[in-house]
Amino acid sequence: MASITRREEADFVVVGSGASGAAVTWSLAEGGFNVVCLEQGPWINPKYYATNSPDWQYLQRTKWDYSPNVRKLPQDYPVNDENSQIKVVMYNAVGGSTIHWTAHVPRFHPSDFRVKSLDGVAEDWPISYFELEPYYDLNDKMMGCSGINGDPANPPRSPRQMPPIPLGHDGERMARAFDELGWHWWPSDSHVNSIDYKGRKACNFCGPVGLNCERGARASTDITYIPDATKLGAEIRPNSTIYEIVSDPKGKVRGVNYFTEQGVAEFQPAKGVVVAANGIGTPRILLHSKSESHPTGLANSSGMVGKNLMFHVYAGANGLLNDLPTPTYQGPQALIIMSQEFYETDPSRGFKRGYTFQIGRGQGPAATAIGNAPWGAKHHEEFERNFGKNFGLGAIGDDLPEEINRVELDPKLTDRYGIPAPKVIYRVGDNSKKMLAHAVKQAEKVLNKAGATNITRNPLSTNTGWHLMGTARMGEDPSRSVVDNYGQAHDVDNLFIVDGSVFVTGGGVNPTPTIQALALRTADYIRHKRTDLKS
């Protein structure tokens, strides 16, 4: 590439400012490292969050849609997911996909790190839950966690920063149903404030927390880690589209080539590089960063970059709760209660590992009209029947890794700069199919017990690929993994990967707190063991 502007060298350049990139940027800055964080998307002023627009539900289907293939904003790259049963969703902005999440933050179980030892499938992680526990705690402190101790399904842990989000009438109804069945349930941990925390207001139960919150009640890294990182001297450089990670003839990385918002090519040199571009974006960058020293892609001597893609498989059932004193759209969408009755392996069920039930509230008028009331003569009748009464019970299943599920570079599709788009190949495995079939039956049982009417089954949710994991997994064997237990690339000792791509297995819960805990652990390792990369 001709005529690239060279920036002043940093100790570290971090690629991505989402859940993990922001956490690493803050921690390294606190440790005295000179850090530049490059983010593909823009800063988003809270005044312009979708929820501040009178047509916010319409925007949810356009420029605030979860899918980059629907949004097609300048900062988005297309994703070829024609050969994937689950469609990819993500968001590009300072804060990454935490701009666009429900902030439900259950932790992995200790068993999730020992799947092969316990169940004979997948691989064990090279670390344990208890090695990660102090970083889970640190992340909760930074983001602010609402919850309560005593959950019998999980290990004892430090107190949360805030009491749990109120269950609401709908949550209480479902909790009674679980009780009547004798099944586990517990208030969900959430990075949504139940009381004021760190200058951010408490949730006021307005509802659309998934599209962000001007009050700051729902944590996202643009209003938690990023402001603290910039106070410590870190630079956040938005609208920076990464072209490649540059390596020298000896194989070490020397920095990052990227395009500015104006399309100007620049080179950001650094002593080390941390990649936090999610489980789709990270393998895309690594595979595109070929060189003489890395002919099959950066850090890819194992051939494992892009392999073992895991989403989470989702299924469940929906129904109507007709006699509640408050509408079901009132309150945070997915932060009520969860059940892990079917989380651990039970051989009698015919599948390995398990799932978590998550309670999902109904949606506002536009979403109800579009999703629950078919157009036609009975549209208004169906809308009236559903609005404020519809309610969901979703199962998030442990999606075991398979090499056939993968990310490649598309041979034709590119972004606006000609950088190859990711091509996603994914099919739901047999174990997951059995798991989801079991989950749908149990979901229907709970809804019936809760007194729901008009129950419908959802055997597989397809537009739910927001958990992107496994495509640069960690492990002790360099021939079967991409990074070691600290996220350091086996092939390149000054390259680190900290997003969901390093996951060995996916667990049966939302991955974000585990992603952030792993990122903080990697940053801690760099701070104490890689001072050679510090000015």
The answer to whether 89 and 312 are in contact (CB under 8 A) is: no
- Where would I find the beta strands (DSSP E) of 337-377? 337-339, 355-360
| Cβ-proximal residues to 291 (8 Å cutoff; 6+ apart), any chain | 246, 247, 298
Inform me whether the pLDDT recorded for 54 exceeds 80: no
The residue behind tokens 């925007």 is 59
The answer to whether 466 and 459 are in contact (CB under 8 A) is: no
Q: What does the mean pLDDT of the chain come to?
A: 94
Q: Which of 243, 218, 221 is nearest to 230 (CA)?
A: 221
| 242-293 tens-digit pLDDT | 999 999 999 999 999 999 999 999 999 999 999 999 999 999 999 999 999 9
Distinct helix (H) and strand (E) counts, the chain: 12, 17
Q: Of 272 and 213, which is predicted with more confidence?
A: 272
The answer to whether 262 and 239 are in contact (CB under 8 A) is: no
* Predicted pLDDT at 285: 98
The answer to whether 30 and 530 are in contact (CB under 8 A) is: no
- pLDDT band, residue 51 (cuts 50/70/90): confident
| 71-98 tens-digit pLDDT | 999 999 999 999 999 999 999 999 999 9
The answer to whether 41 and 92 are in contact (CB under 8 A) is: yes
State the average pLDDT over residues 303-314: 97
Cα–Cα dist 110/173, whole Å: 30
Cα–Cα dist 276/482, whole Å: 14
Least confident of 325-334, 396-405, 511-520: 325-334
Q: Which amino acid is at 146?
A: S
- pLDDT band, residue 335 (cuts 50/70/90): low
State the average pLDDT over residues 102-123: 97
* Predicted pLDDT at 58: 66
State the average pLDDT over residues 460-485: 95
The answer to whether 139 and 517 are in contact (CB under 8 A) is: yes
3-state secondary structure 36-48: EEECCCCCCCHHH
The answer to whether 311 and 444 are in contact (CB under 8 A) is: no
The enclosing H or E element of 315 equals strand 313-320
Cα angle value 405/407/409 (rounded, 5°): 145
Do the strands 265-275 and 495-497 form a parallel or antiparallel pair, or are they unpaired? parallel
- pLDDT band, residue 468 (cuts 50/70/90): very high
Least confident of 42-46, 160-164, 292-296, 344-348: 42-46
Helix, strand, coil percentages for the chain (3-state, nearest 5): 30, 20, 50
- The domain limits of the chain are 5-533
State the average pLDDT over residues 385-404: 93
* Predicted pLDDT at 1: 47
State the average pLDDT over residues 59-74: 86
* Predicted pLDDT at 450: 96
Cα–Cα dist 64/104, whole Å: 20
State the average pLDDT over residues 192-201: 96
Do the strands 265-275 and 5-6 form a parallel or antiparallel pair, or are they unpaired? parallel
How many residues does the structure list for the chain? Answer: 535
Q: Of 372 and 449, which is predicted with more confidence?
A: 449
The answer to whether 371 and 342 are in contact (CB under 8 A) is: no
| 414-459 tens-digit pLDDT | 999 999 999 999 999 999 999 999 999 999 999 999 999 999 999 9
Report percent pLDDT > 90 for the chain: 83
Cα–Cα dist 168/148, whole Å: 16
**Domain 5-533 sits in CATH 2.40.260.10:** no
